[in-house]
Structure 1
Amino acid sequence: MAARRRGALIGPVLVLATLVSSIISSFGAPLIPTVARDFHASLSTAQWSLTVALLVGAASSPVLGRLGDGPRRRVTLLGGLAVVTAGGAVAALAGDLGTLLVGRGLQGVGLGLAPLAMATARDELPPAKVAPMIALLSVSAGAGLGAGYPISGLLAEAWGLAGAYWFGAIVSGLALVCVAVVVPSSAGRGTPERLDYVGAVLLASALVTALVAVAEGTQWGWGSPTIIGLLAAGAVLFAVWAVQQLRTGNPLVQLRLLRHPSVLSADACAMVLGVAMYMVLSGATEFVQSPRSGGFGFSASAVVAGLVLIPLSFFMLISSRTLPTLVKRVGIRAVLALGCLVAALGCAFFAVFHDALWQTFVMTGVLGVGLGTTFAAIPGVIVRAIPARETGSAMGFYQVVRFTGFSLGSALAATVLAAHVGGDGRPTVGGYTMVLWISAGFCVTAAAVAWFLPARSAQRDRGANSEGTGGFRRRATRGAPGSPAARSR
């Protein structure tokens, strides 16, 4: 009875760990002015309290995913949560900006835990529950990023900067305890694979080089030799990493999986949507805080700007629950395309109608429906196309793709707004509407990527739909090391 009860709690605990880690890692945007004030730094320097977490999350995702493939999954999951908890304490106790950035970097490790949670769900849950849980975990990771904005703003207003980070340390510690109690040991399930340290270093170097250029492009100038040099170095490092991954016997990421059209299309769609999502997050939160004296905006506080994103997170979670029904009725390809188009509709709505604060809430709600559906569907497309033993690695790469899109979206929004500045030095309403229209265009592009899949992928989807949504879940989990199906034989 106790084992059955613990098994029923695995899913909720994995969602808790993923959601908490994503929320804590996204602490930053509403806190940037407070960080700048408390540590006597410029806003651009304080921005690194958000950027460093994103950088660490992008670099740690494939490493944690590979470490979690096999018997070390539970240990890796616990270790990641322990690092996030320690990061919250370091950030809360920080006496200078450098120490704060160290703590925020440790918290960013939490962004790499979603692939481990997905791989755990694939092994530990009954076949009928695998696909819905993986979808929910994917959406929880995305919704948590949006929820971190209002939560961090409210906490900082109530308890100050240190109070917000102490809260993060406490809740991540609780998630650590829950995982330790509920998630069973993965020891004995296969042999541990050797970590590709060379690949990890190359990938981290490429990501840091490229994303630093993206993050500082507006500040240093996109045409400056430094930015051009960093972008060129990042491209070279990515190329070297790709060659190294294809040649090594035990790669960090199985890039050959990208030869599968469904995997390639899913990752491409995720990156494009990530760009659109963070363009909207950056543009909308700044728009509502713009003073009404400029002829637009709502003179809102940082807390209100964060609350505007509540519908985004809420509807991302709610819409993900409709995925099995939608896939059964229209197929995964149509679900992905329609979700992208709904997100585009939300962006276009606010680009046209932005005279009242309630319209911002409508926009983020519609965006949440579209993104929730697509981000829930994409992992399922990847998971059913790959061997079970590669789930952690593939999901880790998927997270890298998403985080890269997030970073590009944030930087692109800043670039567009900087190019549309009025006489008072503030972005004009034309700049904000341009951000929204570009975001809508990216969403339409993602819809095209999702729809124009090769014919064999569409045929494979129709075959899965003819069996119901449980069909591909049974094939995905059958024979997977440590899966319930494998253990029952």
Structure 2
Amino acid sequence: MSTQATAKPRVLPTFLVCVGLILSVVIGSLGAPLITAVAEQYDVSLAAAQWTLTIALLAGAVATPVLGRLGSGPRRRTVILAMLGVEVVGSLLTVLPLPFAFLLAGRALQGSGLGLIVLMMAVARDHLDEHRAARTIASLSVASTVGIGIGYPLSGLITDLGGVRAAYGLGLVVTAAAFASALFVVPQAPDRPSVRLDVRGAVLLAIALPALLLVIGETALWQRHVALALTILVASLAVLAGWAFLEARVDKPLVDVRLLRHPAIAAANLVMLIGGVGMYLLFSLITRYVQTPAAAGYGFGLDSFQAGLVLVPFSVLGFVAGRLVPAWRDRLGPRLLLTASTAVVLAAFVLFAVARSHLVGPVVAIGILGFGVGAFSAAMPVVILAATPRGETASAMSVNAVVRSVGFSAGSALGGLILAAHTTGVFPRQSGYGAAAWIGVAATAATLLIIAVLPLQRA
């Protein structure tokens, strides 16, 4: 173990989790809440402004496996510092009074930092004792999923007070602080053979993943051009299959897909995919419902700041669950942990389906959802890392992160399609939210069944 790691055993876990929170805030909280303000500031359409979030998520999906592979070698510290530097540059581009194209470039650079979360997990596993590593990895997994609720109200408030560039200034401050701290805290990686980047695999993945995520998330495309949407979906899946075929046959793959042959790892990723659909479906339903004007016959007409406050219980209870899961790991095992957390998500769906006429119903439902998502996110690395060699930590978790992105995108698109089917005017009918909620109940129940029958090994 490096002297840096032993010199700061208490600082390192805090730093790693803070980086995860910072990335969640910068990429998520400076995305969706600012779309309207960006459209007004840069005089672009809402559809164009939506790309400030989309391009960040796409860049993160592509960069995560690449960083996961680079972070498996001996130069992980250099990779982390370089990517934090990229975060700072991207944040600077969002703050400077430059044309809209530079804002998009900055958001893409910020989004590429999503892959840092899996590197933080690898650092924790290599440089902390087993107990601290488990808690830190669980907290990182939770931070990357539920940390978004922390920055939503803050970014909305800053935008109201100082404008969109002031909100982006928050991103510049926190990324610069993370970079400065990393210079002193991040330890050298253990001495391992150098890793050669699989360029062909990276190029194929850079083609397949954005196409897949875009077509899944484009609700309007599925409504108006089903044949085109299906064509893009099939083509992206075909390229992804070709990528997997290539990765299984090269000596130094971008992602060691052979790990997916392990029953526990394959099962965990399937559970993440199906479970992610339901989790993000409910998240998107609640955030959209509470912002619907009461003139529509339902909803509460909350503004961006107020809607952000609704998400606070989601994050707070998510982190509470994340702190509890490591203590329950040895007593319950991964199957029971995932079952219990998915059952909590199911309860949140049922509550939203039957009790949303008063604001307290959606607020309680999103708090319960946060607890379930937090527990689920913290339990997932337990399953995967129990069957993963230490040197492949970043690579294995990067695959899970991509699977989660696909599941979340599918959940968001599913919610949009269901609500669109129940829309005759400006806003969906109340019945659309009920239908979406009960479909989510069915999807979450299916996740419970999958967890019950698949071979999830005890950690």
What is the TM-score of this pair, normalised by structure 1? Answer: 0.89
**Equivalent of 1:256, from 248, 253, 258?**
258
Q: Is 2:59 the counterpart of 1:56?
A: yes
Contact 2:215/2:221 (8 A) holds in 1: no
How much does 1:3 deviate?
A: 7.0
Contact 1:28/1:149 (8 A) holds in 2: no
How much does 1:94 deviate?
A: 4.9
Shifted more, 115-124 versus 46-55: the winner is 46-55
Q: Is 2:447 the counterpart of 1:446?
A: yes
Q: Which amino acid aligns with 1:257?
A: L
The 1-side partners of 2:270 and 2:156 are apart by 32
SS at 1:113's partner residue? helix
Cα gap change, 1:370 to 1:3, in 2 (>3 Å): closer
**Equivalent of 2:272, from 270, 273, 279?**
270
Contact 1:262/1:381 (8 A) holds in 2: yes
Runs of 5+ in structure 1 lacking a partner?
A: 465-489
How much does 1:212 deviate?
A: 2.0
Per-residue CA distance 1:112-161 (angstroms, 9 max, x = gap):
11110000000110123221221111111112234343332222112211
> What percentage of residue pairs aligned between the two structures are identical?
40
The 1-side partners of 2:82 and 2:411 are apart by 30
How much does 1:76 deviate?
A: 1.1
Per-residue CA distance 1:366-414 (angstroms, 9 max, x = gap):
0111111111010111111011111111011111111111222222221
The 1-side partners of 2:226 and 2:338 are apart by 39
Q: Is 2:137 the counterpart of 1:147?
A: no
Task: Specify the alignment match of 1:47 in structure 2.
Answer: 50
Q: Which amino acid aligns with 1:376?
A: A
Q: Which amino acid aligns with 1:226?
A: L
**Equivalent of 2:372, from 342, 359, 370?**
370
**Equivalent of 2:108, from 102, 105, 108?**
105
The 2-side partners of 1:332 and 1:276 are apart by 20
The 1-side partners of 2:173 and 2:4 are apart by 27
The 2-side partners of 1:206 and 1:220 are apart by 19
**Equivalent of 2:243, from 236, 241, 244?**
241
**Equivalent of 2:284, from 265, 282, 285?**
282
How much does 1:4 deviate?
A: 5.1
Task: Specify the alignment match of 1:333 in structure 2.
Answer: 335
Q: Is 2:172 the counterpart of 1:169?
A: yes
How much does 1:2 deviate?
A: 9.1
Q: Which amino acid aligns with 1:52?
A: I
**Equivalent of 1:127, from 116, 126, 130?**
130
Q: Is 2:432 the counterpart of 1:431?
A: yes
Cα gap change, 1:95 to 1:262, in 2 (>3 Å): same
SS at 1:41's partner residue? coil
Task: Specify the alignment match of 1:31 in structure 2.
Answer: 34
The 2-side partners of 1:74 and 1:83 are apart by 14
Task: Specify the alignment match of 1:78 in structure 2.
Answer: 81
How much does 1:24 deviate?
A: 0.6
Q: Is 2:430 the counterpart of 1:410?
A: no
Contact 2:63/2:112 (8 A) holds in 1: yes
Query: How many residue pairs get matched?
Result: 456
Contact 2:61/2:210 (8 A) holds in 1: no
How much does 1:439 deviate?
A: 2.6
Task: Specify the alignment match of 1:117 in structure 2.
Answer: 120
Runs of 5+ in structure 2 lacking a partner?
A: none
> 1:186-197 counterparts in 2 under 5 A?
186=189, 189-197=191-199
Cα gap change, 1:7 to 1:325, in 2 (>3 Å): closer
Per-residue CA distance 1:349-369 (angstroms, 9 max, x = gap):
011100111222201110111
Shifted more, 62-71 versus 3-12: the winner is 3-12
**Equivalent of 2:231, from 216, 229, 232?**
229
SS at 2:8's partner residue? helix
How much does 1:221 deviate?
A: 3.5
The 2-side partners of 1:94 and 1:262 are apart by 50
Contact 2:4/2:186 (8 A) holds in 1: no
Per-residue CA distance 1:78-124 (angstroms, 9 max, x = gap):
11211112111111225333222111111101211111000000011
The 1-side partners of 2:132 and 2:404 are apart by 25
Contact 1:143/1:316 (8 A) holds in 2: yes
How much does 1:267 deviate?
A: 1.1
**Equivalent of 1:318, from 312, 320, 324?**
320
How much does 1:65 deviate?
A: 0.6
How much does 1:326 deviate?
A: 2.3
Q: Which amino acid aligns with 1:450?
A: I
Q: Which amino acid aligns with 1:360?
A: P
The 1-side partners of 2:214 and 2:101 are apart by 17
